[in-house]
Structure 1
Amino acid sequence: TLSPAIASRIRYLETFSKNEAKHIVELTLIALTHLVFCGVLLMLYHLPISRLGINFSNPLLWIVGGLLGIGLMGVSTLFCQAAMLLCESYQLKEAPKGLDAWVTVARGGWVRHHIDVVELLPTIIAFSIVLMQLTAEETVFRGILLNVLQAHGVYFAIFTSTLLFIVMQAFQMSSIYAAMFPMIGAVVMGVVHSILFVKYHLLLPLILSHFCYFVFVVI
């Protein structure tokens, strides 16, 4: 109820449908609250920003991060295609039929929020909102959780961080088939990003990787 109320008071959003305006407001609020949540966790666990490995001094990290995101997107796509073929080959009762039906299902739920933001808002504003959200995710699941959980062992930290990251993808998705795509992506990205962070302690290229990955999802 909060998002529609806020959307109705913003004149700029009057040109959009109620659902579109609601999605824009919801994603913006989610991104902002997640950043606040990151700050709270950092204070609770007494983690200095330096432990996150946000290094802007090396431009090569930007390139590496972008290429990593594109590569992960390619691998995730292969796994998603395999999952679709398996569902269709076993003729699961509620599984979508045909590529168009799968694409429609995959672009629902919270993914639709991101698509609406990117398609409807000015590019710099849209990407700023998305980048805030993805920065918060990488900070929590890689920067904070891995730093905190490594006290219990590296493998436990990677497994737990990745598992929580995968579970989060199912929220606000209409069915297991809709959630299947982001969850597969979370397996690929979660494992690779976690291993890289544990080894190099650099968060910035992982944020850029996540951003480039998501650009390919929504375009």
Structure 2
Amino acid sequence: MAANSSNQLAIYERSLEREIDNKEYFLQQVTDALAKLKSSGPDTKLNSDQDLWIEFLGKPMFSPDRSDPIGLSLAFCENRTRLKTSREYLESDSLEPLREILATQESLNQGVQTLTTLLNQRLSENSPQLHDRQQDGPETRNSNLWRILHTLIENFVAIDLCPDGADSDLVAERMQNLMKRLIKRDESLTANDFEGNYSSGLYRLLLRSNCLCKSQDGSHIHLINFLDEF
């Protein structure tokens, strides 16, 4: 096996030397031809001297070996140089920022893993409650929704829209009555019902949220049925 490798290396070296000699010879021929052309005079004389051009064009063109051992040698040297410089870069101190980035990424990955574990744990702990909620009947779910709406209006909407000096509890009660009429699709409800008692802010809020629309004859208002929108 070693003898075979030595023979191949010797063949490669001879081929490389032959290609180098050929290139040196043809480069010398080109140099001599260019020098002869330059010494022949201006371009006008070159254009009229057909014999000189025929002699110049009669030179054989250089055709390198298809295996191109010089190109292979250059490619090998380039790869070896890249390998050396890459090794020097990897062994240098310039990798310290990369190490810091890697440490930060590992810390983030650990944080995400911990968060995922906690979320899965919470999901497993709350699964019985979710199952109980799914088992609730329509009346129970409806009652829960009304209670949520009551809390939302009393603790947030009424307080935010209540002007200074007004009783937020009375404003909340007024808003809850109007919301009940809207939800139950009271056809006698109009925009005028929101005037006074500090409920006009609720009307503007619902209107800007695209939750209200008027009847075709404009006699009353009602909530948009979002089931018809999808």
Identify the TM-score tier after normalising by the shorter chain.
under 0.3
TM-score using structure 2 length: 0.21
Q: Which has the higher contact order (CA 8 A, sep 6+)?
A: 1
- Larger of the two Rg values belongs to structure: 2
Larger fraction in helix: 1
TM-score using structure 1 length: 0.22
